Amino acid sequence: MKPTTAMVLAAGLGKRMRPITDTMPKPLVKIAGKTLLDWGLDSLEAAGVAKAVVNVHYLPEQIVAHVAGRRVPKVVISDERETLLESAGGIVKALPLLGSEPFYIINADTFWIDRGKPSLERLALAWDATRMDILLMLTDLDSATGHCVGTDFLVAADGALQRSKGDPAGLIYAGAAIIHPRIFRQAPAGSHSLNLYFDKAIATGRLFGMKMNGSWITVGTPDAIPAAEAAVAGALAKAV
C-alpha cells in the first residue's frame, strides 16, 4: 500500500531559530537554496503523494502564499492560527482532510538526502497494516547532521520498536512516518504530542521502524545552517 496523502507538520514557532524566525516561519528557512518545507514536499512528490495537508500557525500567510502555486502534491492548509495544537493535536484536527487510509507524516523542519531507493518509497514497501499502526523512518547518529540529543528507539530483529532511553545503540526518529488513522480513535481535541501515540503503539506491539539510507539533516538554530549546507553538498557529491 502506497500512501497518496501526507500530513506536513509546519505550525511550530521556531523560537530557537531567532532572529531569523522573527520575520519568517521556520519551514521557509532556506538550506542550499531550497526552503525546509520544499525539501519535504519534493520528497512527497517523488513518492507519488497527491495531497499534502500542511498545518499553519505562526506567520501563516507566508506559508499559504509560498505553497499557493504548488501543483504536486496539491497542498491543503489546516489552519491553527487560533491555537497551536502540537504534533498530534494538529493531526487530529486535520483527520477529515486526511481520510481513512494510512498516510505519511513528515516534519517540516527536518529533511534528508537518500542514497539509493527513496526512503519514503522504502517506507511504503515496508508498511504492513496487519501488524503496524505506525512505521517510523529512523537514522543513526553517524548519518545525522544537527542532532544534539541522544537516540530515540531500539529496534528488534522484526523491526518492532522500544524506547531507547538514550542508549547509543539506538536510532533517531527521522521525522517521517506512515500512520494509520485508526490509532487516533477517541483521540482528545486540543494540544498534545504524537509521542503519546508512539507509546500507545509500543504498548500493543504495533510501533515499527525502518532505517533510512542516506544523510538526515535537522536545523535547530541559525548557526546550524552552515553545517546543514555542507552536509547537503557532501551528500549530493557522493550521489553523483
Residue 218 CA, chain-centre distance (Å), reads 11
- Residues 101, 102, 106, CA angle at the centre, nearest 5°? 135
- For the chain, what is the mean pLDDT? 92
For the cut 60, the answer to whether the pLDDT of residue 138 exceeds it is yes
Terminal CA-CA length for the chain: 31
Residue 240 has pLDDT above 60, yes or no: no
Which CATH superfamily includes the segment(s) 5-239?
A: Spore Coat Polysaccharide Biosynthesis Protein SpsA; Chain A (3.90.550.10)
36-64 residue pLDDT tens:
999 999 999 999 999 999 999 999 999 99
37 within 8 A of 28, measured Cβ to Cβ? yes
Residue pair 153/163 in contact (Cβ under 8 Å)? The answer is: yes
Cα 155 from Cα 157, distance rounded (Å): 7
User: 224: which strand partners?
Assistant: none
pLDDT of residue 37: 96
Q: Where are the domains of the chain?
A: 5-239
Phi-psi domain of 94 (left: phi exceeds 0; alpha: psi -120 through 50; beta: other): alpha
The pTM score is 0.93
Q: Is 54 helix (H, G, I), strand (E, B) or coil?
A: strand
Q: What does the pLDDT average to over 103-107? A: 96
Measured between alpha carbons, how far is 232 from 218 in angstroms, rounded to an integer?
11
Burial 147-157 (b: 16+ CB within 10 A, else e): beeebbbbbee
b/e code 187-212 from CB counts within 10 Å (16+ = b): beeeebebeebbebbbeeebbbbbbb
How many residues in the chain?
A: 240
pLDDT 10s digits, 140-199: 988 888 777 789 899 999 999 999 988 888 999 999 999 999 999 988 888 999 999 999
Q: What is the pLDDT of residue 186?
A: 87
DSSP assigned state of 171: B
